[in-house]
């Protein structure tokens, strides 16, 4: 007897419980968390439930008191409080949490694992069904992650502003630029200062698109758009228009990403090619990654896949000219391994470049010394780097090159940490944005 608050989460729970039972959705139809009130019969069912899953008070404020009053035998999972998820602070109220975590699909992959573990703990006799359903759900989630990582170069054609801060997680995950928002959520008061800031971005031409959401009011829209020809993109972050079933989350993400691309005047042909490439890419039935390779470390020594079998390997793909994501991630790895102390000695960190043209052995040697002293930097021929990247399903692409400065360019690339076992088996991928504390905790769990 499982009760779920909102559609995006319900979609995943429905798929996970396939062939076992159907969860109950609280906020359905034309309702939203911002105008929802529990009916007496819903309150009664919540009290009899085995498990209640909600996002948290920043979204479903009207559920807060009922959840506090549930009997002790009702297990409650508040997703915003799960340390494994990447939860961002609200822009305008840093003491609160931005509730729209599912707009980074990597969070949904992590949530899938969390909920699988919870269901198996509560219902161990059917653990094989939950594991089977998890693998089935994992395929389309990985597919859209690859599509977004590789196919969003066209979004750099413009910047956006938004009425509510529904795209913060998507910005962080896929390098989308949203300049301002009017308010964090419809629960917050709209200030005149915020309206003026957003309107200034529109009238100055800095923003080419204003994002609204179908589930959220925009009472002051005319004040923002009067006298302008700004594009309007109507998102559906809560999936209000979609039937509540297992496929809802993928349909929701496809719809919203198309709205983003169209509103920002992106190259839709390139976007469609990225979606097609992701759909045709081979996805293993299990979680298999890795393969044979020969690379060179920062000391000019050859390194093969066999060298990775002497220990647990924590692998990151990036490049030395990366302005922020790469050094931030490697700094997190450095701090996490320091926290582990002796427990971290069996873990070997690797940094594999996706920019072999600039990242020579000498450049890698100078770069890795700023991080954990155990960090091994690996480079190689362009062909070998491409081979290794394909083995780990890592996407990368060289940015636009200025003919006057041919050595000054960026690399678009997948971002995440890959943990491999001493026998060469892939263990897990840890999403970009993970904290050092959480990374240290996960490494302890996986390397016991």
CATH number at residue 403: 3.40.30.10
Determine the pLDDT at residue 149.
66
Determine the pLDDT at residue 286.
43
Same domain for 298 and 417, yes or no, is yes
Determine the pLDDT at residue 285.
43
Q: Domain holding 86: CATH number? A: 3.40.50.1980
pTM over cut 0.85: no
Same domain for 317 and 388, yes or no, is yes
Determine the pLDDT at residue 401.
82
Specify the DSSP element, H or E, that contains 199.
helix 192-203
User: If phi over 0 gives left and psi between -120 and 50 gives alpha, with beta otherwise, what is residue 131?
Assistant: alpha
Closest to 246 measured CA to CA, from 1, 22, 2: 22
Pair 41, 144: CB distance under 8 Å: no
Same domain for 298 and 407, yes or no, is yes
Domain that holds residue 76: 2-91+100-136
Same domain for 6 and 122, yes or no, is yes
Same domain for 425 and 314, yes or no, is yes
Q: What is the pLDDT of residues 221-269, one digit of tens each?
A: 999 999 999 999 999 999 999 999 999 999 999 999 989 988 988 766 7
Residue numbers of the chain with a pLDDT score lower than 50: 153-154, 282-286
Determine the pLDDT at residue 153.
47
Same domain for 306 and 373, yes or no, is yes
Same domain for 264 and 393, yes or no, is no
Determine the pLDDT at residue 58.
96
Q: What is the pLDDT of residues 24-51, one digit of tens each?
A: 999 997 789 999 989 999 999 999 999 9
Same domain for 276 and 322, yes or no, is no
Pair 438, 432: CB distance under 8 Å: no
């Amino acid at each position: 007897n499982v009760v779920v608050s909102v559609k995006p989460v319900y979609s995943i729970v429905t798929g996970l419980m396939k062939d076992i039972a159907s969860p109950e959705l609280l906020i359905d139809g034309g309702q939203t968390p911002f105008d929802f009130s529990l009916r007496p019969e819903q309150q009664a069912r919540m009290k009899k439930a085995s498990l209640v899953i909600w996002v948290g008070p920043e979204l479903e404020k009207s559920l807060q008191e009922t959840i506090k009053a549930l009997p002790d035998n009702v297990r409650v999972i508040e997703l915003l409080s799960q340390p494994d998820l990447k939860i961002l602070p609200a822009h305008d109220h840093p003491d609160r949490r931005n509730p729209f975590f599912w707009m980074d699909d990597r969070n949904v992959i992590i949530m899938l694992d969390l909920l699988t573990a919870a269901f198996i703990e509560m219902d161990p006799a059917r653990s094989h069904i939950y594991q089977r359903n998890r693998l089935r759900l994992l395929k389309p989630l990985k597919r859209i992650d690859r599509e977004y990582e590789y196919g969003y170069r066209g979004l750099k054609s413009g910047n956006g502003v938004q009425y509510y801060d529904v795209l913060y997680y998507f910005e962080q995950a896929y390098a989308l630029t949203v300049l301002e928002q009017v308010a964090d959520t419809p629960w917050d008061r709209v200030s005149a200062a915020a309206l003026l800031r957003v309107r200034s971005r529109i009238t100055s031409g800095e923003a080419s698109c204003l994002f609204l959401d179908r589930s959220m009011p925009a009472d002051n829209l005319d004040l923002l758009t009067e006298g302008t020809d700004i594009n309007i993109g109507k998102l559906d972050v809560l999936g209000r228009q979609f039937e509540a079933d297992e496929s809802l989350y993928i349909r929701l993400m496809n719809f919203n990403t198309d709205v983003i691309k169209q509103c920002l005047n992106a190259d839709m042909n390139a976007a469609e090619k990225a979606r097609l490439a992701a759909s045709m890419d081979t996805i293993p039935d299990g979680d298999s990654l890795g393969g044979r390779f020969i690379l060179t470390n920062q000391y000019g020594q050859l390194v093969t896949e066999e060298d990775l079998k002497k220990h647990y390997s924590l692998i990151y793909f990036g490049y030395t000219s990366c302005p922020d994501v790469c050094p931030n991630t490697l700094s997190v790895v450095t701090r996490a391994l320091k926290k582990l102390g002796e427990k971290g000695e069996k873990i070997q960190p690797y940094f594999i470049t996706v920019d072999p043209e600039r990242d020579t052995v000498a450049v890698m040697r100078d770069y890795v010394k700023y991080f954990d002293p155990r960090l091994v930097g690996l480079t190689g021929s362009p062909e070998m780097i491409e081979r290794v990247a394909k083995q780990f399903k890592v996407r990368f692409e060289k940015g636009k090159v200025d003919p006057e400065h041919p050595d000054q360019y960026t690399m678009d690339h997948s971002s995440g940490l890959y943990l491999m076992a001493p026998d060469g088996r892939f263990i897990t991928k840890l999403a970009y944005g993970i904290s050092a504390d959480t990374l240290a905790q996960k490494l302890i769990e996986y390397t016991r």
